[in-house]
Every structure is written in C-alpha cells, then in structure tokens.
Amino acid sequence: MKVTIVDYSSGNISSVINSFKEVAQNKATIEVTSDLNKIKSSDKIVLPGQGSFKSCVDALNKISGLNDTLNEFVIVNKKPLLGICVGLQMFADVGYEETETKGLGWISGKVSKIDNQNGKYKLPHIGWNQINIVKESKIFKDIKNNSHMYFVHSYEFIPGDKNVISATTDYSSNIVCSVEKENIFGTQFHPEKSDKLGLKILENFIKI
C-alpha cells in the first residue's frame, strides 16, 4: 500500500508528513512527491493545503500535468483522496479568496469567507472546536460525535449537494468541516494537529 502526499509547495506540510508516518508504520509506505508517475502509481493520495485558495490553486497549476493526473486518479480511476484544509476547499468549482479562482470542480460548490457577523466572531477561526458528525463516514470510524478538532481558516466550503457533508462545526453558523463523496474525502480541520483523534482519522483513511 502506497500513500502519496502531494508536495506542490503549499506551505509547511511537515506535520502532515510526520503524522502519516506515525500512523502508517507497517500498514503503508508514505511518499512525499510531485512526480506525476509516482502519484499515478499510488493507492491513495493526500492533498494538503495551507495559505489562500488562490495561492494553492496557482501552486498546483504551476506543476505541468498535475491537475490532469489528479483528475485521472480521482475521477477516472476512483482511487481514494484526502484533502486537508485548503486541500478540501479546492474540491469546489470556485473560490472567492483574494479574487475569484476556479477550483478542481470535484464537488460542486463554492468557497466563501465565513460570515463573522460584523466582528462578533474572530477570523481566522483558530483553535479547537467540536464537530457534529451528520453522516456515517469511513474516516470517522471509532470517532465519537462532538469530538474536538483543530481549525485554522477564514473561508468555508459550501457544497451544492448537502448529501456530501459528513460533519459540521458551529462557528458563527453551521460550517462544513468534513465531506465524503464516493472516493473523495476532505476535512476543513487539521487532523494532523488534532491529537490522538486526528491521528485516528488519518489511520482510518489509510485503512479504506
């Protein structure tokens, strides 16, 4: 089993790498690369993302052929992919951070700024928050409802189809914090920074 973390210069992903290596042990080989052939031959892919929607999309687009390779992996071959933070947001059709930017279009929807109710809620939303699991998801196996996860974000993913939502968190409003659509999984929170429960989510993804 080979799990590849896509390295497309989207900020510091060392904690993602370390957390996956910790849970993988003898269950999987963890590779960090932007090499298209290595990505194609993987069993599973992790798409991290830090920074703005636009900066992450631009960084993906800078690597020739990466978008096509990811599309083939996810949409054609239906292999499992986990998007983390902006990695999840890029599933959308469009994002409105900095400027209107086209997303990957894997899960129809948009990424908009969290409504902070005229300053009542601080942005970015940083820290631990409870998640409300709204549908059974493979990555939430043995994770209890209302568990706390670690967040850092100012923008939220609003999917067109509410059936893809697997968990929400309450911050200013009900914010989508996890999605599952067939072989596509995503978390707005950072499992790699969410202590033992976060590691359990990464382990669940490896075991899918």
Active site residue 192: yes
Report yes or no: 99 and 92 within 8 Å, Cβ to Cβ. no
Active site residue 85: yes
The phi, psi pair for 7, rounded to 5°, reads -100, 100
Q: Exactly one of 56, 125, 180, 190 is catalytic; which is it?
A: 190
Q: Exactly one of 31, 97, 192, 203 is catalytic; which is it?
A: 192
Q: Tokens standing for 102?
A: 């086209």
Q: Exactly one of 85, 97, 153, 180 is catalytic; which is it?
A: 85
For the range 203-206, what are the long-range contacts, defined as Cβ-Cβ under 8 Å and sequence gap of 24 or more?
A: 203/23, 203/27, 204/138, 204/139, 204/140, 204/141, 204/142, 204/143, 205/44, 205/46, 205/80, 205/82, 205/138, 205/139, 206/1, 206/3, 206/20, 206/23, 206/24, 206/27, 206/28, 206/44
Active site residue 153: no
Question: In sequence order, which ranges of 41-170 are alpha helices (DSSP H)?
Answer: 53-62, 66-71, 86-89
Report yes or no: 113 and 154 within 8 Å, Cβ to Cβ. yes
List, by residue number, the catalytic residues. Answer: 85, 190, 192
